[in-house]
Amino acid sequence: MASDPTSLRTTVALVQVAASRDPGENRERLAALDVPDAGLVVLPEVFQRDLGKPGDDLAGDAEPLDGPFVDALTAKARAHGGTWIAGMVERSEDPTRPYNTLVVVDPDGLRASYRKIHLYDSFGFKESDRLVAGPRTPTVVDAAGLRVGLMTCYDLRFPELARELSRVGVDLLAVPAAWVAGPRKVAHWRTLTVARAVENVAYVAAVGQPAPRYTGHSMLVDPRGDVVVEAGDGDAEVVVGEVSTALLAEAREENPSLLNRRDDLPWH
């Protein structure tokens, strides 16, 4: 296939770093991050305030979308350039249960937010005891020349959300996570990340917190299912990969499964 002069190559930085239960400390970590130049920078879920132990009260550390964490993230984008995605605990109408929210900022400020739909009531956890689920609305934002769909951690196990995002039209699915460690969990993470890329013929940038509490293995997967780059399991690590809209177009031409999807089947 001839090269397309309008094709875009975007650098994506996956920042695999642990968060603490202290929002002020996490803002300091954010300010100190050394990240290579990238059009899109993706941090983990709840980077503003880690979820901590199952009984931890999150409401006291929840912030509004114009609060100190979003201000700090915007300042980082302004100093560094690019569009930044990170997770936070956002105040809700329920004073005891906030939202688990992703925010997208660039040097001009907040661009978009997504409140986690699927709460982690699984593997012995009950996230819904402490958090409120967001509205069932796919969230897509234009960032770094790409159409980016937003998902959070446990959302990865629900292919229907990724499919709805692909129906709206995305080049990349961004999945910040705090994927809790345990038996088979790395295998689940890797398998589901690759599956979401293949079935939606899209890039997936899945970024987690590191071991020992979480699984690490932040990864960028291309629309053919090839792993572009992958971090290890422990320690802070930043890995960088490239997203190519030319490769995306080639993958969708050779595998037009999104066009072949049958919307007239009885379960739609």
Verify whether residue 116 is a known catalytic residue. Answer: yes
Cα 193 to chain centroid, rounded: 11
**Active-site residue (options: 63, 90, 116, 230):** 116
Verify whether residue 199 is a known catalytic residue. Answer: no
Strands (E), the chain: 9-16, 40-42, 83-90, 99-106, 109-115, 140-143, 146-150, 172-176, 203-207, 219-221, 227-230, 237-244
In a domain, 253, yes or no: no
Looking at the structure of the chain, the number of domains it has is 1
* pLDDT value at residue 1: 38
* pLDDT value at residue 6: 64
In a domain, 259, yes or no: no
pLDDT at 268 over 70: no
* pLDDT value at residue 87: 98
Residues 81 and 63: their CA atoms lie apart, in Å, by: 24
- What residue numbers bound the domain in which 201 lies? 9-244
Average pLDDT of span 193-197:
98
Residues 38 and 143: their CA atoms lie apart, in Å, by: 12
Q: Which residues contact 258 (CB under 8 A, 6 or more apart)?
A: 166, 200, 201, 252
In a domain, 250, yes or no: no
Residues 138 and 132: their CA atoms lie apart, in Å, by: 17
pLDDT tens, residue by residue, 82-108: 999 999 999 999 999 999 999 999 999
- Span of 3-17, 35-49, 203-217, 228-242 with lowest mean pLDDT: 3-17
Tell me the pTM: 0.95
For the chain, give the mean pLDDT: 95
Verify whether residue 242 is a known catalytic residue. Answer: no
> 90 forms bridges with which residues in the sheet?
63, 99
Bridge-based pairing of strands 9-16 and 40-42 is: parallel
In a domain, 261, yes or no: no
Residues 150 and 172: their CA atoms lie apart, in Å, by: 9
**Active-site residue (options: 63, 127, 153, 230):** 153
Residues 176 and 257: their CA atoms lie apart, in Å, by: 26
**Active-site residue (options: 45, 63, 90, 127):** 45
Report the CATH number at residue 29: 3.60.110.10
In a domain, 199, yes or no: yes
In a domain, 267, yes or no: no
What six digits make up the tokens of 7?
């094709």
DSSP annotation string for 125-144? --GGGT-BPPPS---EEEET
In a domain, 172, yes or no: yes
In a domain, 27, yes or no: yes
pLDDT tens, residue by residue, 143-154: 999 999 999 999
